[in-house]
Structure 1
Amino acid sequence: MPIAFLQRLQTLTGPAVNKIVPTSSGPDAIVAEQLLQRVITGLPELLGAAVVDVESGQALATYTTSREFNVGKVLDFNAEVVRQQRRAMQALGLPADEQLSEILITLSNQLHLLWLLADGQRFLYTVVDCRDTNLGIARSVIRSCELPD
């Protein structure tokens, strides 16, 4: 039986671990949860993931495997990366049909993938350990997980 006080107490110690956490209610949050569930199924060694609104930088749902790895702390920064890349594309004068699809951030042991969803208003942020998952597998799983609008 879930006890609200104990659930709230757990959130004070850090993000929920191995659990999808919606940050709002409604159809967008439900779709975000479904998307994250599909990603987790396809990438069981996933370190963290979130579905994020590009304009606000706010998560619709998050997932992490470790309290020390709090994806919520970086979402606004990643949203700004997407917004800046779109501005850079405009500055280059690229045709309007040229759309940003993904941004890859490669660290020594981690791959951070920002995959723009079909609506262009949200992105899927995923983090994998590159010792467990290669980029090709991560991209393939992420592309196959997006739900139709």
Structure 2
Amino acid sequence: MQIPFLNQLQTLTGPPINKIVGVAPTGPVRAAAEQLLQHVLHGLPEMLAAAVGQISTGQLLASYTTAREFNPAKIIGFNAEVIRQQQQAMRALQLPPDEQLTELLITLRTQLHLLRLLPDGQRFLYVAVDCRDTNLGIAREVMRTCEP
């Protein structure tokens, strides 16, 4: 049953868990972000979290998480900054124009955090998985095949 007051009250305790949440204003950008997360969730049902964000602003467009303590809204801006800094480093290296950043991997002891730039160059997909549940190859392939 959908009770608006209870839904609003639930958001005060943290992000909804096991549910894709669109944050961007309703429209094609939000729908595309939610659809992308649906594809990732279908391919990686055991993932910890996923989100779609804008690179230039660090704005969250849509997110999914399995635990309230894992809040993509808090980290999406930092991930966008990591991408911008890496792009700046690549410009400093004066690499050929056809060399472009496609993916970043952050490896922790028990988790993998992947950032994949989407083909439009304006947005990125963030996925976090537990190393015990998913290997890197599977996560990368699911992210690659989910691109619009």
Q: TM-score range by the shorter chain?
A: over 0.9
User: Aligned partner of 2:13: which letter?
Assistant: T
Percent of pairs with identical residues = 66
Give 2:20's aligned residue.
20
Instruction: Give the alignment of 1:99-110 within 5 angstroms.
Output: 99-110=100-111
Which runs of 5 or more residues in structure 1 are unaligned? Answer: none
Give 1:113's aligned residue.
114
Normalised to the residue count of structure 2, the TM-score between the two structures is 0.97
Q: Deviations over 1:25-83 (max 9, x none)?
A: 11000000000000000001010000000011011100000111111111111000000
Aligned length: 147
Give 2:144's aligned residue.
143
Say what the alpha-carbon RMSD is for the aligned residues. 0.7
Give 1:130's aligned residue.
131
Task: Tell me the distance in 2 between the aligned counterparts of 1:125 and 1:42.
Answer: 14
Aligned partner of residue 95 in structure 2, secondary structure: coil
Task: Tell me the distance in 2 between the aligned counterparts of 1:12 and 1:65.
Answer: 17
Give 2:5's aligned residue.
5
State the 1:127 CA deviation: 0.2
State the 1:146 CA deviation: 1.1
Aligned partner of residue 56 in structure 2, secondary structure: coil
Give 1:76's aligned residue.
77
1:96 equivalent to 2:109? Answer no
Query: Runs (4+) of structure 1 moved beyond 2 Å?
Result: none
Q: Deviations over 1:102-148 (max 9, x none)?
A: 0000000000000000011000000000011000000011111112x
Task: Tell me the distance in 2 between the aligned counterparts of 1:62 and 1:73.
Answer: 11
Which runs of 5 or more residues in structure 2 are unaligned? Answer: none
User: Aligned partner of 2:58: which letter?
Assistant: G
